[in-house]
Amino acid sequence: MRARLALLIGLATAAPATGIGAVVFRSPPPAVATAWAARLIRVNIVGRRADGMPDDRRDTLPRQQAALGLSAAEAARIRATTGLVLCDLDGMKALASAVLAGDRQTLVTAAHVLRDPKRGDMELPRGTRCVFRSQSLPPETVQLRLDGSEVLGAGGRTDMSDPNDYAVVRLAAPLRNPDAVPFPVGVPETDPGSTVLLISAFQVDLQSTLGNRDPIAQLAEVEVAASPQPATPRPIYLSGAMDAGGSGGPMLVRTDGTLHLAGIVSTTGNVSRDGMPFSLTMGSFIRVITVEGPFLSAIATVTGAAPRVAAAPSPPRPPH
C-alpha cells in the first residue's frame, strides 16, 4: 500500500487544472465495468499509441454517456449545472470550470481560479467582471458577484500541502434551466483503486478538437485518499489524463442510484509530463478536494442554508 499523508509533504510543483469534476460510481453493470477497465489508462496527462498519436481517452459527454451508464436526465443535469468561468483580465478569458452547489444561484470552483497570478495570487479585485456559462442546450450566461460575499479558501496555486483550494461564489441571478438542479452533497470513503469520472468544461490541449460546447468526460483512478479531517477538506490524488482547464469541476458519486457532489478538481500535473505514470514526488497526479469541513460550511454561508448532505455512502467498488 502506498504511503499516505507522509508523501503529501514536499510535493514537486504541479500546474493548477483550471476546469471541472469527478464521479465515482458504485457497482456498475458488468458490461459497463468491462468497458471502463478497457478504457482506463494509468498516466497523468497523455498516453501514446504505437503510432505515436495521443491516446488518453478523454472525450465529450455525449460520446461517453452510454459507456458510462449515465441516463439522459443525468447528462442533461450535468450540462446544466457545470460550465465555464470566464473573467475580464485584459479581455474575457476562459479560466476554469465550475459547478452549482446548494442552490441554483451558488457556484463552487477552485480558489486559485479567482486569484490573479500577476498580483501575487491575490484575490481578483471587487467588481472584476466574471461570468459563468453553462453547457446546457442552449447555454446560460450569468455574472459572478465578486462583491465580498464570496468565500475563498486559503489554498491556491502554489501550496500543494494546503487542501483549502475552494471558492464559493454567488451568481447575480439563479439559473433558469429546469435541469439546473444542484446535486446533493455526499462524500464516500474512496479507497485506492476506485474508478472515477471527471467532468471538465474545457481543457486547453483539447480546444482545437473538442472545443467547449460539450463537457469533457474522462476516467481516472484513486491512488491516495487522505483520511477525513474536520478542519479541512480531504485531498484525493488520482491517476488520469487532464490539462489546464480542469480545475473547479464536480466530483460526483453514485449512491443508491443517485449522483452526489463529493468534491472538485483542484490541480493536475504539468502537461509536459507526457505519459508519466502517477507520482506524488514528481507532481504527476490529479488532485480533488472533497466538499467537507470548511468547504461545506462555506456553501451553507453563501446560500444561507445548509446544502442537502447525504448519509455517508459505502466505498465504491472498482471495475473488474
Of residues 229 and 313, the one with the higher pLDDT is 229
Tens of pLDDT, residue by residue over 41-53, are 344 444 455 665 5
Q: Is the dihedral of CA 113, 118, 120, 124 positive or negative?
A: negative
Nearest alpha carbon to residue 234 among 157, 282, 165, 305: 165
pLDDT tens per residue, range 113-138: 999 878 878 899 998 999 999 999 99
Cβ–Cβ contacts within 10 Å for residue 159, how many? 14
Q: In sequence order, what E strands does 216-292 have? A: 216-225, 235-240, 250-255, 258-268, 286-290
pLDDT at 204 over 80: yes
How far, in Å, CA of 157 to CA of 110, rounded? 9
- Residue among 195, 141, 203, 235 nearest 26 (CA): 195
Distance CA 225, CA 318 (A): 14
Encode pLDDT of 27-40 as tens digits: 333 333 334 333 33
Assigned C-alpha cell, 166: 475552494
pLDDT for the residue numbered 16: 55
Q: What is the pLDDT of residue 43?
A: 44
Q: Residues near 96 by Cβ (< 8 Å), separated by ≥ 6?
A: 17, 18, 19, 20, 84, 85, 109, 110, 113, 201, 245, 246, 247, 248
pLDDT for the residue numbered 301: 93
Q: Does domain 5-303 have CATH number 2.40.50.140?
A: no
Hey, what's the cell of 219?
A: 476516467
Give pTM, 2 decimals. Answer: 0.81
User: How distant, in Å, are the alpha carbons of 14, 129, 305 from that of 114?
Assistant: 18, 11, 24
